[in-house]
Amino acid sequence: MPERGAPEIPVSLVSLRVNGTWLSLRLDNRTTLLDALREHLDLVGAKKGCDHGQCGACTVLVGGRRANSCLLLAVACDGSDVTTVEGLAEGERLHPVQEAFVAHDALQCGYCTPGQICSAVGMLAEAAEGHPSYATAPDRLAADSSPGQGAPEPFDALEIRERMSGNLCRCGAYPNIVDAIAEAARS
Amino acid sequence: MTDALSQDTALPSPGAPLALDSAFPRREAREKVTGAARYAAEHTPPDCAYAWPVPATVARGRVTALHTADVLALPGVLAVLTHTDAPRLGPSDDPTLALLQDDRVPHRGWYVALAVADSLESARAAADALRVEYDTDEHDVRLTADHPRLYTPEEANGGHPAVRERGDFDAAFAAADVRVDATYTMPALHNHPMEPHASTAWWTDDGRLTVYDSSQGSATVRDTLAGLFNVPEDAVTVLSEHVGGGFGAKGTPRAQVVLAAMAARHTGRPVKLALPRHQLAAVVGHRAPTVQRVRLGASSDGVITALAHEVVTHTSTVREFVEQAAVPARTMYTSPNSRTTHRVVALDVPTPSWMRAPGEASGMYALESAMDELAAATGIDPVELRLRNEPAAEPDSGRPFSSRHLADCLREGARRFGWEGREARSGVRRAGDLLLGTGVASATYPVLVSPSTATAHADRDGSYTILVNATDIGTGARTVLAQIAAEVLGTRPDTVRVDIGRSTLPTAPLAGGSSGTASWGWAVHKACTALAGKLRAHSGELPAEGLSASADTEEEAGRESPYARHAFGAHFAEVQVDTVTGEVRVRRLLGVYAAGRILNPRTARSQFIGGMTMGIGMALTESSTMDAGFGDFAERDLAAYHVPSCADAPAIEAYWVEEDDPHLNPMGSKGIGEIGIVGTAAAVANAVHHAVGVRLRDLPLTPDRLLPHLATAPHAFPLAVSGK
């Protein structure tokens, strides 16, 4: 415990690989991954909607898996590989999920959008690896149903809705979000 | 910020000059899908400090002590503002903005202090650490239909008279062949836009204030801040470039912008303040709970002879706001004898305000549920019943409708939905453990429009720029304003830049009341018409500075119309009710609208389905309980307050009928941002009645309310039937 009257903010050196670049940051131990991205790296694509893991607006990919960055302390992510919505496009060429969101008007105010897109990218990878969801009936899994053996068939709107329900959209763009993801899944 | 010119390449093809009616992609879509679009808390000026507010933890009383010295000793803390040392504020029309000015606590969650620190983490820790002592008074937060302090206000929200009477309701109701007398209740509801209210503010040495604010209208924010901080209006600049939704909760300045400007003045540093989600319920407004008694008297053929809609609601002790829930009954149906009233009680609760279609959404839930009850009582199909009650003119005003195509919406919706042949009996469609039902409800929303200014500019290179302080809160304002300009100028929208979202632009009203496109668009139309005239009169190359024309629609948009002007719609829902769990799920939702000319089918459809989705929440999941003991909303975050998720939103379809109304504005458009929510809850609730055969009149229709009425499925476990 620090002496009273001489308080100090405990900080740590944290290394993160963000959108392909290794960065070293000196961060308050209380700083979440979300705040590290937004306030320290000016990567504001990840949004703060609730700060409690309830809305999904802060979703990024950590080690390729989708995660609520507001629930992760940056210091605990030391050495992690983080991809934000800013890291999905290749130069001017949008990621297929981003393209599909534009094409299907799968956004209105846009505040949940980066989280929806990162979540969709992570979700499609989970499905492709064969991870089932609540909506996946046993007989709808690919013949060899162990994880890693391909997406549940058919990968329909029900599957997408179920798997995307951690990302809230108050504007109510869900039908268009589902259409966009379905298109990206086909491509 | 001026948007890019390259976004509209997809539509229309060259040689197809029509700019309006086309489904141009949303202009800022690329910025939004790449994370490049910046919202109010996403600007970090050098040396920026962070603020975190401290809410009162008592429902009524006075602050007697604030132990700020302990907090100021914490690392990184710059200041703790309280009513004893916060900057004194000038006058404002809105007493909810008189923040940190005195020791009074009018409701739980009212801000009593503001911590400011070097970092977000330190500001939050400082706010958490502040000890506050109170003298508490007895509080009263319970709305009841017979509350002794209920009174009749002078007017309800929107300037509507609180009471209207026509004919002799009591006599006509007593003499009616068929009578419905039912009371419906709705809890408080919260807007919860995905972006919490946020501001980044700084003062410069010359006394100027600049603020990025999450607002639906930055002109009012500017004017309000100028008054509060006693500086000229032109010394304040407010930017609201991208706004993460509002649904009314950002319609006027809210606490965050005042607190951020205060903290910036007090510390001499830029200050960023994003309100924590769980604090929003108490400080940004809510849809007030209502108790609504509807009485319908009709002849045996279903034609209404007597209609009473009596609304009881709450407001706060800080500011009167009266949800105008009885107002749509003045427009909807034949009703030669009518009584529509509002009574309100000022409780020790947070101040209610606008939430998507205030008045219409709440009132039409009750009225359209009562219509369903009348259909059941008369044995007339619910669509047919509504058709039989189409009025020739607006019942309350006697004015002719500028256009009214509700009947077309009902017929077209019935056709698309497959309404014909619907099982007339309720509670009989069963599929395994599920009961199935369908329901219909009408919708209406008034045509509102406000004066606006705009400037149109032609450049030498053949491109154009539109300048207007419109706000895009997710509606597609940039996109549709470019279309309007292009239509008038006879060009393609991709040659038109649209500069909006900044108080230094030509003054324009807020994005609210479904009036944005009509108000801003009218001024853009007028400015472009004037510019087109100048361009026609000009010969040879344009001067280096180009040509400009400005317009102000004060006269034409402010003029009262001799017509009753409203959009209408019809909602159809199919639901399933799980007899084991009591869960209601919407299987299909379909809306057909008559809302004038639809200027952009793509963004219009998005708004319609968005409103309908919020209506699903209103019907089934959204509920805010006022805890009588603590005087607090119990559901304050997104884990407890259930906005619809992706899995709750099934196939949702939105259509519209062609409507050519010459009495609106030069574009011929009505507002579309709110009508989608209006009839949805009633359509869903009516479908639940059709499925279950029991009328539940208290929203939302959660499993605990359904279960006691559901026949036991053979394998239901005992818990499911012991409900109450």
Across the interface, do A178 and B606 touch by the CB < 8 Å criterion?
A: no
Q: Which two tokens stand for residue B320?
A: 């009167």
Same domain, B722 and B629: yes
What is the per-residue pLDDT across A70-86, written as a single tens digit (0 to 9) for each?
999 999 999 999 999 99
Give, in order, the Cα–Cα distances in Å from B353 to each of B185, B250, B315, B407. Answer: 18, 10, 9, 32
Kindly indicate the confidence band of residue B719, based on its pLDDT and cuts at 50, 70 and 90: very low
> What is the predicted pLDDT for the residue at A148?
53
CB of A111 less than 8 A from some CB of B:
yes
Average pLDDT, chain A: 92
Domain harbouring B456, CATH code: 3.30.365.10
Same domain, B420 and B495: no
pLDDT (mean) for B110-120: 98
Across the interface, do A174 and B44 touch by the CB < 8 Å criterion?
A: no
Between helices B360-378 and B680-692, what is the axis angle to 10°? Answer: 30
pLDDT (mean) for A162-187: 96
Q: Is the pLDDT of residue B9 over 80?
A: no
> What is the predicted pLDDT for the residue at B458?
98
Same domain, B478 and B493: yes
Across the interface, do A39 and B277 touch by the CB < 8 Å criterion?
A: no
Same domain, B428 and B463: no
Nearest to B274 among A48, A86, A162 (CB): A48
For tokens 């009584």, name the residue: B339
What is the per-residue pLDDT across A88-112, written as a single tens digit (0 to 9) for each?
999 999 999 999 999 999 999 999 9
Q: Is the pLDDT of residue B716 over 90?
A: no
- Residue B317 resides in a domain: no
Chain B positions touching A84 (Cβ under 8 A) are 35
CB of A3 less than 8 A from some CB of B:
no
Interface test with B, best of A12, A44, A109 (most B CBs within 10 A): A109
- Least-confidence region, from B13-17, B52-56, B257-261, B702-706: B13-17
Search chain B and give the residue with CA nearest A176.
Answer: B606
ipTM over 0.85: yes
Of the residues B522, B552, B582, the one at which a domain ends: B552
> What is the predicted pLDDT for the residue at B565?
98
Q: How far is B252 from chain A (nearest CA, A)?
A: 18
- Residue B255 resides in a domain: no
Nearest to A172 among B42, B76, B612 (CB): B612
Contact B651, A158 (CB under 8 A): no
Search chain A and give the residue with CA nearest B29.
Answer: A102
Percentage of chain B surpassing pLDDT 90? 94
Burial B429-454 (b: 16+ CB within 10 A, else e): beeebbbbbbbbbbbbbbbbbbbbbb
Nearest to A111 among B121, B122, B195 (CB): B195
Kindly indicate the confidence band of residue A151, based on its pLDDT and cuts at 50, 70 and 90: confident
Local structure of residue B95 (DSSP, 8 states): G
Same domain, B607 and B510: no
Interface test with A, best of B119, B194, B278 (most A CBs within 10 A): B194
Is B674 catalytic? The answer is yes
A 31-70 residues with CB < 8 A to B:
31, 35, 38-39, 42-52, 54-55, 57
Q: Is the pLDDT of residue B615 over 90?
A: yes
Across the interface, do B610 and A171 touch by the CB < 8 Å criterion?
A: yes
Across the interface, do B25 and A102 touch by the CB < 8 Å criterion?
A: yes
Same domain, B627 and B649: yes
Interface test with B, best of A48, A60, A164 (most B CBs within 10 A): A48
Looking at the structure of chain B, the number of domains it has is 2
Chain A positions touching B11 (Cβ under 8 A) are none
Chain A positions touching B646 (Cβ under 8 A) are 160-162, 164-165, 167, 169, 174, 177-178
CA B594-B595-B599 angle, to 5 degrees, is 125
- What domains, with CATH codes, occur in chain A? 11-87 (3.10.20.30), 96-186 (1.10.150.120)
Between A3 and B638, residue with greater pLDDT: B638
Same domain, B697 and B581: yes
What is the per-residue pLDDT across B368-412, written as a single tens digit (0 to 9) for each?
999 999 999 999 999 999 999 999 999 999 999 999 999 999 999
Amino acid sitting at position B447: V
Same domain, B696 and B574: yes
> What is the predicted pLDDT for the residue at A149?
60
A 113-142 residues with CB < 8 A to B:
113-114, 117
- Residue B108 resides in a domain: no
Q: Is the pLDDT of residue B713 over 50?
A: no
Across the interface, do A9 and B122 touch by the CB < 8 Å criterion?
A: yes
Kindly indicate the confidence band of residue B601, based on its pLDDT and cuts at 50, 70 and 90: very high
Q: How far is A149 from chain B (nearest CA, A)?
A: 25
β-bridge pairing B160-161 and B132-136: unpaired
Give the residue among B607, B710, B681 at the shortest CA–CA distance from B186.
B681
Contact A114, A83 (CB under 8 A): no
pLDDT (mean) for B98-124: 98
A:B CB pairs within 8 Å = 193
> A148: burial class by Cβ within 10 Å (0-12, 13-18, 19+)?
exposed
Q: Is the pLDDT of residue B1 over 50?
A: no
Search chain A and give the residue with CA nearest B280.
Answer: A50
Search chain A and give the residue with CA nearest B192.
Answer: A170
Q: How far is B127 from chain A (nearest CA, A)?
A: 15
Search chain A and give the residue with CA nearest B42.
Answer: A44
Of the residues B518, B552, B586, the one at which a domain ends: B552
Of the residues B531, B552, B573, the one at which a domain ends: B552
> What is the predicted pLDDT for the residue at A137?
79
Give the residue among A160, A3, A120 at the shortest CA–CA distance from B649.
A160
CB of A89 less than 8 A from some CB of B:
yes
Chain B positions touching A173 (Cβ under 8 A) are 606, 609-610
Same domain, B500 and B517: yes
Kindly indicate the confidence band of residue B546, based on its pLDDT and cuts at 50, 70 and 90: very high
- Residue B282 resides in a domain: no
CB of A164 less than 8 A from some CB of B:
yes
pLDDT (mean) for B523-550: 97
- Residue B714 resides in a domain: yes
Kindly indicate the confidence band of residue B707, based on its pLDDT and cuts at 50, 70 and 90: very high
Same domain, B634 and B675: yes
Q: Is the pLDDT of residue B721 over 70?
A: no
What is the per-residue pLDDT across B184-235, written as a single tens digit (0 to 9) for each?
999 999 999 999 999 999 999 999 999 999 999 999 999 999 999 999 999 9
> What is the predicted pLDDT for the residue at A63?
97
Across the interface, do B34 and A161 touch by the CB < 8 Å criterion?
A: no
pLDDT (mean) for A11-21: 98
Phi and psi at residue A69, to the nearest 5°: -70, -15
CB of A173 less than 8 A from some CB of B:
yes
Across the interface, do B475 and A108 touch by the CB < 8 Å criterion?
A: yes
Host domain of residue B531: 29-37+452-552
- Residue B328 resides in a domain: no
Search chain B and give the residue with CA nearest A73.
Answer: B121
What is the per-residue pLDDT across B471-502, written as a single tens digit (0 to 9) for each?
999 999 999 999 999 999 999 999 999 999 99
Same domain, B439 and B466: no
What is the per-residue pLDDT across B661-694, written as a single tens digit (0 to 9) for each?
999 999 999 999 999 999 999 999 999 999 999 9
Average pLDDT, chain B: 95
Q: How far is B585 from chain A (nearest CA, A)?
A: 13
Across the interface, do B606 and A35 touch by the CB < 8 Å criterion?
A: no
> What is the predicted pLDDT for the residue at B611?
98
Amino acid sitting at position B268: G
Q: Is the pLDDT of residue B15 over 60?
A: no
Kindly indicate the confidence band of residue A146, based on its pLDDT and cuts at 50, 70 and 90: low
* Residue A17: HSE in the Cβ half-sphere, 13 Å Cα cutoff: 8
3-state percent helix, strand, coil for chain A, nearest multiple of 5 = 35, 15, 50
- Residue B576 resides in a domain: yes
pTM: 0.95
Nearest to A28 among B121, B193, B242 (CB): B121
Phi and psi at residue A155, to the nearest 5°: -90, 85
> What is the predicted pLDDT for the residue at B662?
97
> What is the predicted pLDDT for the residue at B2?
43
- Residue B129 resides in a domain: no
Across the interface, do B194 and A48 touch by the CB < 8 Å criterion?
A: no
Search chain B and give the residue with CA nearest A113.
Answer: B33
Nearest to A108 among B75, B274, B610 (CB): B610
Same domain, B439 and B573: yes
> What is the predicted pLDDT for the residue at B19?
81
> What is the predicted pLDDT for the residue at B39?
98
> What is the predicted pLDDT for the residue at B342?
98
Across the interface, do A175 and B120 touch by the CB < 8 Å criterion?
A: no
Chain B positions touching A91 (Cβ under 8 A) are none
Search chain A and give the residue with CA nearest B245.
Answer: A109
